[in-house]
Amino acid sequence: MSISFLNIFSSYYTSASILNKQPVVSLNKVSNIEILKKAIIINTIMKDWEYIHTVAKAALLYYTEGKTQEEIAWQLGLSRPTISRMLSYARKSGIVSIRLDLPGEVYPELEDKLEKIFSLEEVTIVSSGDNLSLLKQNLGRGGADLLKRKIRGIDSLGISWGSTLFEVVNNFSRDSTNPKVKVVQLVGGMNPLNSSLYADELARILATKLGGNAYILRAPMIVDSPEIRNTMLNDSHIRDVLSIARKVDLAIVGIGAMDDNSILLKSGCISEEELKEIKSRGGVGDILGRFYDVNGNHVSSSIEDKIIGIGIDELKEIGYVIGIAGGKSKVRAILGALRMEVLDCLVIDEEAAREILNLGGVE
């Protein structure tokens, strides 16, 4: 709409005369109704301009000068709710646009995408690093930071074992503000060359850092036969620890892949023949020694009735479950775990996260 200065002046003067019941002076020789309509339009334009001007002023004070909404309201002579609405309008209308210049190792958009696609409460993504050792250290730091935030208000947590979880425990700092939390072993141990990977060792170290007690499952993860397993499950100590494990407030677990680097294979928990058997049935990963395919479906094996520890269904009953894993070799295993819907939170590296989205056909 284009309105000349003469028309604006003429219309304003004429409409004012009408409203004050004074003689009408029509510079443009138009009807009084048309002049009144123009006056209303002009009045609206002026009010809109005044509002936009005030919005811009409020936004400048809030976003560049850091003033509070209360301070801005006092300065502009408006109420705080009015300022709040103006700031909201400034963002929605494009008067204010926000750009995040994020550091290279922070991935909030990617985290948000995974959270929404897989209905996770929280995803933490870390840098992939240049080698496997650095990757595990990064996952450990990310997992330790997340765990420290999540233990507030809980009484107990359960932990499995593995080299990545060792890094989590190793990076978890002792703090006087940490609550006294009891730490429970979720599954029996294994026989790695590096004793730091023992499940009981991880539980003890973490319990010490949390100032709580460790509940140790004094049994191997996999025994020689179902009969031996049944006998051991009748042991009062093992029975009591597993009972506590099923009732923990939070669980933190690793995710294993079915390849030559499988920690189950390297630790002697399963043989190469058993690994081949699991892979032939579509197995891509394991949690707590329970195997599944890429769609999260259970994959049976000859060892599942020889395992000492809680199962997947029992893990799902725990209030909050954190899964920690990374690396391209574990992408299918992580994707299967996500589709199994056993995890509430995931700590993963950037490259694996992007591969999961690609493999799932969602990026």
Residue 98 lies in a domain: no
37 & 180 share domain:
no
290 & 261 share domain:
yes
CA distance 319 to 313: 12
Model confidence at 2: pLDDT above 50: no
CA distances from 255 to 63, 93, 249 (A): 44, 45, 20
Model confidence at 3: pLDDT above 90: no
CA distances from 147 to 140, 251, 295 (A): 10, 10, 27
pLDDT digit string, tens, across residues 213-236: 999 998 888 888 999 999 999 999
Residue 44 lies in a domain: yes
Domain CATH for 68: 1.10.10
Residue 84 lies in a domain: yes
Number of domains in the chain: 2
CA distance 124 to 149: 12
Highest mean pLDDT pick, 108-112, 250-254, 257-261, 262-266: 250-254
Element (H, E) at 299: strand 298-299
70 & 115 share domain:
no
pLDDT digit string, tens, across residues 19-61: 444 444 444 444 556 645 555 554 555 556 678 888 888 888 9
77 & 190 share domain:
no
Point out the domain boundary residue: 30, 64, 93.
Answer: 93
168 & 252 share domain:
yes
Q: State mean pLDDT over 70-75.
A: 91
Residue bearing tokens 């080698």: 131
pLDDT on residue 132: 87
Q: State mean pLDDT over 63-85.
A: 90
pLDDT digit string, tens, across residues 173-206: 876 666 788 999 999 987 544 444 567 889 999 9
Point out the domain boundary residue: 70, 93, 116.
Answer: 93
Task: Tell me the pLDDT of the chain averaged across its residues.
Answer: 82
Residue 99 lies in a domain: no
37 & 119 share domain:
no
DSSP 105: T
259 & 156 share domain:
yes
Residue 188 lies in a domain: yes
Model confidence at 168: pLDDT above 80: yes
Model confidence at 353: pLDDT above 50: yes
pLDDT digit string, tens, across residues 100-125: 655 556 778 899 999 999 999 999 99
Q: Which domain holds residue 30?
A: 5-93
87 & 226 share domain:
no
Domain CATH for 286: 3.40.50.1360
Residue 119 lies in a domain: yes
Q: State mean pLDDT over 292-319.
A: 93
Single-letter code of the amino acid located at 33: I
pLDDT on residue 105: 67
300 & 236 share domain:
yes
pLDDT on residue 77: 85
Residue bearing tokens 């928990």: 269
77 & 147 share domain:
no
* Closest to 286 (Cα-Cα) out of 324, 321, 331, 254: 254
116 & 54 share domain:
no
User: What distance lies between CA 349 and its chain's CA centroid?
Assistant: 13
Q: 60 in helix, strand or coil?
A: helix
219 & 191 share domain:
yes
pLDDT on residue 26: 42
Q: What strand order describes the sheet that includes 320-324? A: 122-126, 345-349, 320-324, 250-254, 156-159, 182-185, 214-215
CA distance 257 to 327: 10
Q: 270 in helix, strand or coil?
A: coil
Residue 100 lies in a domain: no
Q: How many residues does the chain have?
A: 363
Could you give the percent of the chain with pLDDT greater than 90? 50
pLDDT on residue 20: 43
* Closest to 184 (Cα-Cα) out of 113, 261, 250: 250
pLDDT on residue 282: 93
Model confidence at 362: pLDDT above 90: no
The reported pTM is 0.72
* Closest to 106 (Cα-Cα) out of 120, 122, 127: 127
Residue 285 lies in a domain: yes
Rg (CA), the chain: 32
Model confidence at 307: pLDDT above 70: yes
- Positive or negative: CA dihedral 60, 66, 68, 71: negative
Q: Strand 298-299 vs strand 320-324: parallel, antiparallel, or unpaired?
A: unpaired
pLDDT on residue 51: 81
Q: Strand 256-257 vs strand 182-185: parallel, antiparallel, or unpaired?
A: unpaired
User: What distance lies between CA 191 and its chain's CA centroid?
Assistant: 33
CA distance 292 to 257: 10
pLDDT digit string, tens, across residues 124-161: 999 988 888 899 999 999 999 999 989 888 999 999 98
Point out the domain boundary residue: 32, 65, 93.
Answer: 93
Residue bearing tokens 């009891």: 182
